[in-house]
Amino acid sequence: MEFNRGDSEASRILRDIQALKDTKSGIEHKLSVLEARLQEINLQDDAVSNGSSAPSSTVDSGFGNGLTPDMIYRYSRHLLLPSFGVEGQANLLKSSILVVGAGGLGSPALLYLAACGVGRLGIVDHDLVELNNMHRQIIHTEAYIGQSKVESAAASCRSINSTIQIVEHKEALRTSNALEILSKYDIVVDATDNAPSRYMISDCCVVLGKPLVSGAALGLEGQLTVYNYNGGPCYRCLFPTPPPTSACQRCADSGVLGVVPGIIGCLQALEAIKIASKIGEPLSGRMLIFDALSARIRTVKIRGKSVQCEVCGDHATFDQEQFLEFDYEKFTQSPLSASPLKLNLLPSDSRISSKEYNERIINGEAHVLVDVRPAHHYKIVSLPKSLNIPLSTLEGRLPEVSSALKEEEELNGIVSDSTAQLYVICRRGNDSQRAVQYLHKMGFTFSKDIIGGLESWANNVDRNFPTY
């Protein structure tokens, strides 16, 4: 018993130590943010007293290049580059760039844009920082979990470079506010992950005449291009018709290796810097494709500006008024928000809640639980005694379902005129409904779907059950 008390005390001490470390980390982070903000205010005051309106604007330093001694020292490695030099840095300091999305792509893009000296940097996002963001959204820290991503990202940017202006837009980008927000910036970086946002941002950039740096990352692959730049194509030129919703996947559903959006986000920052500083050859009319597994990066030529494009074509009449009235969610058949899809395919008598299913387990009901998630999902976490038959293989594995039901009936001594129950579960309750629809057609008319899947189980039955 003495060992158990010691073990319990050690666990408590470890928890206390971790809690104190978390508190210390949070305090140190907030101190750095406040110090950076104070420095920014002081610089703004100095700029006002010198008759300047922005902390990032260049001043007559007496060196003939418009850069202050601090700027020369801070950006010295840029200035040493013959192809970049004073002119490139001066252009950066005069530029304004908006990053839409402070997630996996936006995080590295924002950090490098802030560090390199973009004069005014805008951040648009309405989401909150979550624990499952940490492996890829490197601009955020654990101290900001549960808080605004924009606030977190802005604090990190200010802690890197307090001499530039950071503008926070803590709201979802919609047609109702996009024109007003995007019109304030020279360049737009699309760091979103859904089809309606991509079309909306591209159309808005065309209407306003803004170049757009667009990136995407999913799984182990990424891609990057520049739209609406120097007569180049817009997003609609390449994709006049939205892809089917089944082809539009998100990281939350399909997964992503954290470093992949990091690489694409860095490249987005690079393209934005090239455009802002007026150096190099931006990726207009070309697309960079990255394959992480094979470590291959290739650049392919893409379709040029389409004369038939409804937004930027030769005879296009798409204007600000049409943009405001356009329904991008209806056009793409997918939501702007990142909320998981919730299907409703079955009648109520073919579905049960996770709480009801738990009650049937407690009551000892004879049943079989089929988990139709992919095998690699099943390995992450699963309910006890469940049978993993991925939805894609269900058709060929119906004999296994029949065999499992028969074995359960024999085990519980069920007579021939009765049968064990059949329940189907998945991650969120969508594939399980598709599976039950198929099972009904194949004669398993008693099968039922568990509403909300394993997420519902974690939220309503077992709070310690892992979610992913």
Q: Token pair for residue 332?
A: 């793409």
CB 131 within 8 A of CB 177: no
> Residues 6 or more apart from 237 whose CB is under 8 A from it?
303, 304, 305, 306, 309, 312
5 in a labelled binding site = no
The verdict on whether 116 is a catalytic residue reads no
- Marked catalytic residue, from 116, 157, 205, 426: 426
442 in a labelled binding site = no
200 in a labelled binding site = no
Q: Token pair for residue 156?
A: 């990190």
157 in a labelled binding site = no
Q: Which of 67, 54, 163, 53 is CA-nearest to residue 117?
A: 163
> Residues 6 or more apart from 227 whose CB is under 8 A from it?
202, 205, 211, 212, 214, 233, 234, 235, 284
136 in a labelled binding site = yes
291 in a labelled binding site = no
312 in a labelled binding site = yes
At position 115, the amino acid (one-letter code) is A
- Marked catalytic residue, from 116, 205, 251, 266: 251
194 in a labelled binding site = yes
The verdict on whether 266 is a catalytic residue reads no
309 in a labelled binding site = yes
CA-CA distance, 341 to 352, in Å (whole number)? 19
460 in a labelled binding site = no
234 in a labelled binding site = yes
CA-CA distance, 313 to 307, in Å (whole number)? 4
CA-CA distance, 35 to 420, in Å (whole number)? 66
- In sequence order, the β-bridge partners of residue 449 are 351, 424
376 in a labelled binding site = no
Could you list the beta-strand ranges (E) of 191-244. 212-218, 221-227
266 in a labelled binding site = no
Binding site for Zn(2+), residues? 234, 237, 309, 312
Q: Residues forming the annotated binding site for ATP?
A: 104, 125, 132-136, 149, 193-194
Binding positions:
104, 125, 132-136, 149, 193-194, 234, 237, 309, 312
Active site residues: 251, 426
